[in-house]
Chain A
Amino acid sequence: MVEALRDALAIALRSDPTVFLLGEDLGVSGGFGGGFTVTLGLSEEFGHDRVMDTPISGAAIVGAAVGAAMTGMRPVAEMQYGDFVFCAMDAVVNQAAKMCCMSAGQVRVPLVLRLPVGASNRGAQHGQCPEAYFLHTPGLKVVCPSTPADAKGLLLASIRDDNPVIFLEHKLLYGGKGSRKEKASLDVTGDVPEGDYEVPLGTVAVRRQGTDLTILANMLMVHRALAAAEELAREGIEAEVIDVRCLAPLDEDSLRTSAMKTGRILIVEEDTRTGGWGAEVAARLAESAFDFLDAPIQRLAAPDAPLPCALALERAYVPSVAQVLDAARRLVRE
């Protein structure tokens, strides 16, 4: 996914002079290329102004992105780890999200905030999945791809959207090469179309058709759901797996259509259970598809606890394929 994201950034930088990147360690020559090598090499082609290195100043990174976006630029800011976004929450929630509305549409904030998220054996302040905070904030769009092809197309669409977009990138889906590759990386590969293309925001993707239950998942959990679906098929259970790659705006119609088809919904999410994105989706489907449900909507989420570091704990904390299988079987039997 790293290469796909880098490709998207390069295309955006090449095609639009108002696009620029800002964040820590993005463009330093001989450096990292951002937290996870996504911006590696871009400063060579685009220079150190358009690939702008900042001090460790989360609030100023996002605040400056807001100011630049309000006055005609399209900044793409990066938090080195998604958890650090909380240092900048005023800029995200009180500034970026509210400016368009407070100005009755006269001001736009076309920024993208890229957040590397997901448990990766670094502990509680380096692995949270924070999408629920942004789903709850009117004025933000929330994007969370699970494949390289989606990542490239969604990032290009996000950069070109005139709204502030929170763009979540799961660390274990980066893949990538060399010494900065994550140990537990999934190395997701797949065809990534060449050239400039967009995947529209406000859409979901049906990754696997099925009839017995619908599994809604995002990012890494999509892949665990698909692995579970393969095993379930051997047991005669056909799971439909939907990749909720955009949480806001949410394609509720597609989710409802699937609910009407299967009558059983299992949400698999890596964020913590209470007030997680699954809670919102479950509430909406309970409102709109109640008559079609044969069982209560189920959520499989991380427990309501900060992320532990020890691998033995992390493996119990983040929903696993085994846990998905377990939940799916119980749901189907209900």
Chain B
Amino acid sequence: MITRIVVPDVGATGAEMRVVRWLAKEGDRVEAGAPLFRLETDKAVQDIEAFRAGYLRTILAPADTVVEVGAVVALLTDTADESLQETAGTPRSTAPAREQGAPPSRIPASLPLSAPRNPEAPPTRDSLLGLYRRMVLIRRFEDYLYRLFLQGQVPGTLHQCQGQEAVAVGVCAALRPDDVIFSTHRPVGHLLAKGASLPAVAAEIWGKATGCAGGKGGQMHLMDLSVGAYPSNAIVGANIPIATGAALGFRLRGLDRVAVSFFGDGACNTGTFHEGINLASVKDAPVIFVCENNLYAASTHVELAMRVRDIADRAAAYGIPGEVVDGMDVLAVYRAAATALARARAGQGPTLLECKTYRYPGHSRGDPGNYRPREELETWRKRDPIDRCRRLLAQEFHQPEAELDEVEAACQAEVEAAVRFALDSPDPDPAACGEHIYAGKVRE
């Protein structure tokens, strides 16, 4: 099968994109994920990876060629010597490549996140498996999205969260379905951790009518009200007072529901961080503020943005508990979240959790992350939350590797099915532009 390597839309705004040079030669075999060619745009120089393995047969855009988005720059084949002539019926990989069919899994696909009520109690095998599965689903989906992005298949932008899965999953595992979350421009992990519909999320990223917001929201405004996930927010820091307000509403009605605000290290220097947390503190609002400190706000390192090292220290300024949490350890996150939840439900007010974590990808699509040292990424990868959870399952709970592989395969199948659903779904009707500007009619 012939695979076309295209120039992905890396979000460059200027005129020229240029292939600087090739990182493999014609005839080389390349692995999936291996850097193939170096692309220069007005924004950055970045290495574009092969999205699947194969033999680099023909380079169509040699070094120093000016290219544009979508241009076919090379051809890969599955085998070293298959013909490059296309014949009718030769599959063209303009559609997402289908992986090998997944074997049926002995672990049910809908394994619920049943975490122990007592956060101090040791986890059960099933609850740990549930956490593992949820993290794998997020990772597989984000990785698959990225491969499709490299093929020029993903419209719009992406803000991905590989590496940060344990924070989303650990927090959401402690929540009830009627607790609410408010996420950010990087929402996929939080949404899937809360139990949002993956096909609806995929369809929204593709801007389809079947998307969770009918295509009106987009990648940064994912939502699923049935699991308490309100539209995520692209204004950094904005969801902090919003979550406080939701919590105030719960308290006024005598409900023991809790609101969670997710945000990054960048949000901690916004005015709404200060105002929103302070208001929650003086009103004992049942809200948890979860900071995902991945050391970078876009390209700016935290040390350039603030004098304190631990954002959790700022909780003292509001008279609320603040805790630094290992964001690469899903159980540590879960325990911290469960403790904060208990406080909130008991009317003791908000907590600030600072989860130290790391995002493997750049800030957004096309950001190669050149502002980060390569060794730093490697150091954090060694603490990968999914690998850690898998080791725990294998060693402490003697979960057979083959069964864990089945979880991975089942998640992959679920991911691919969701993307197929998205691709097969219709675009929204243009009339939708003028819909839902106002809500309904005046209540009778």
Residues of A at under 8 Å CB distance from B?
Answer: 17-18, 20, 49-50, 52, 54-55, 57-73, 75, 90-91, 94-95, 99-110, 138-139, 141, 157, 160-163, 198, 200-201, 249
User: If the complex has contacts A20-B252, A60-B276, are A102 and B217 also in contact, measured as CB distance less than 8 A?
Assistant: yes
| Candidates A60, A95, A110; contact of B275 at CB < 8 Å | A60
Asked if residues A138 and B437 are in contact (CB atoms below 8 Å), the reply is yes
Within 8 Å CB of A101, what residues of B? 216, 435-437
B248 sits at the interface (CB 8 A): yes
| Candidates B216, B217, B230, B238; contact of A63 at CB < 8 Å | B238
Chain B nearest CB from A8 CB (Å) reads: 15
Asked if residues A54 and B213 are in contact (CB atoms below 8 Å), the reply is no
Asked if residues A63 and B440 are in contact (CB atoms below 8 Å), the reply is no
Asked if residues A95 and B216 are in contact (CB atoms below 8 Å), the reply is no
Complex Cα distance, B440 from A58, in Å, reads 28
Chain A nearest CB from B217 CB (Å) reads: 5
Which of B155-163, B277-285, B319-327, B391-399 is near enough to bind chain A?
B277-285
Complex Cα distance, B342 from A136, in Å, reads 44
Asked if residues B241 and A100 are in contact (CB atoms below 8 Å), the reply is no
Asked if residues A108 and B440 are in contact (CB atoms below 8 Å), the reply is yes
User: If the complex has contacts A60-B278, A101-B216, A104-B436, are A68 and B231 also in contact, measured as CB distance less than 8 A?
Assistant: no
Q: List 14 A-B contacts (CB under 8 A).
A: A17-B253, A54-B279, A59-B271, A59-B275, A59-B276, A64-B242, A64-B279, A68-B249, A71-B180, A73-B253, A94-B235, A104-B217, A108-B439, A157-B442
Within 8 Å CB of B233, what residues of A? 95
Q: What's the tally of chain B residues with a CB closer than 8 Å to chain A?
A: 48
Asked if residues A139 and B438 are in contact (CB atoms below 8 Å), the reply is yes
User: If the complex has contacts A55-B278, A106-B213, are A73 and B242 also in contact, measured as CB distance less than 8 A?
Assistant: no
Asked if residues A162 and B249 are in contact (CB atoms below 8 Å), the reply is no
Chain A nearest CB from B414 CB (Å) reads: 24
Chain B nearest CB from A106 CB (Å) reads: 6
The 6 closest A-B pairs by CB, nearest first: A67-B245, A63-B241, A64-B245, A104-B214, A60-B275, A67-B242
Complex Cα distance, B231 from A100, in Å, reads 10
Asked if residues A18 and B231 are in contact (CB atoms below 8 Å), the reply is no
Name the interface residues of B405-444: CB closer than 8 Å to any CB of A. Answer: 432, 435-443
Complex Cα distance, B272 from A107, in Å, reads 22
Chain A nearest CB from B268 CB (Å) reads: 15
Chain B nearest CB from A113 CB (Å) reads: 13
B76 sits at the interface (CB 8 A): no
Name the interface residues of B227-262: CB closer than 8 Å to any CB of A. Answer: 230-231, 233, 235, 238, 240-253, 259
Asked if residues B272 and A59 are in contact (CB atoms below 8 Å), the reply is yes
> What residue of chain B has the Cβ atom nearest to residue A50's Cβ?
B252
Asked if residues B442 and A102 are in contact (CB atoms below 8 Å), the reply is no
Asked if residues A95 and B213 are in contact (CB atoms below 8 Å), the reply is no
Complex Cα distance, B282 from A72, in Å, reads 22
Asked if residues A104 and B443 are in contact (CB atoms below 8 Å), the reply is no
Chain A nearest CB from B190 CB (Å) reads: 16
B223 sits at the interface (CB 8 A): yes
Asked if residues B223 and A106 are in contact (CB atoms below 8 Å), the reply is yes
Complex Cα distance, B231 from A103, in Å, reads 7
Asked if residues A103 and B271 are in contact (CB atoms below 8 Å), the reply is no
13 more A-B residue pairs beyond the given contacts A68-B246, A71-B259, with a C-beta to C-beta distance below 8 A? A20-B252, A55-B282, A59-B275, A63-B244, A64-B245, A64-B248, A67-B249, A67-B259, A100-B439, A101-B216, A157-B442, A162-B442, A162-B443
B225 sits at the interface (CB 8 A): yes
Within 8 Å CB of B271, what residues of A? 59
| Candidates B235, B251, B253; contact of A18 at CB < 8 Å | B253
Q: Interface digits, B284-327 against A, CB 8 Å rule (1 contact, 0 not)?
A: 00000000000000000000000000000000000000000000
Chain B nearest CB from A203 CB (Å) reads: 12
Within 8 Å CB of B443, what residues of A? 160-162
| Candidates B216, B275, B276, B282; contact of A104 at CB < 8 Å | B216
> What residue of chain A has the Cβ atom nearest to residue B230's Cβ?
A70
Asked if residues B246 and A67 are in contact (CB atoms below 8 Å), the reply is yes
Within 8 Å CB of A200, what residues of B? 442
Asked if residues B242 and A70 are in contact (CB atoms below 8 Å), the reply is yes
User: If the complex has contacts A101-B437, A162-B442, are A63 and B213 also in contact, measured as CB distance less than 8 A?
Assistant: no
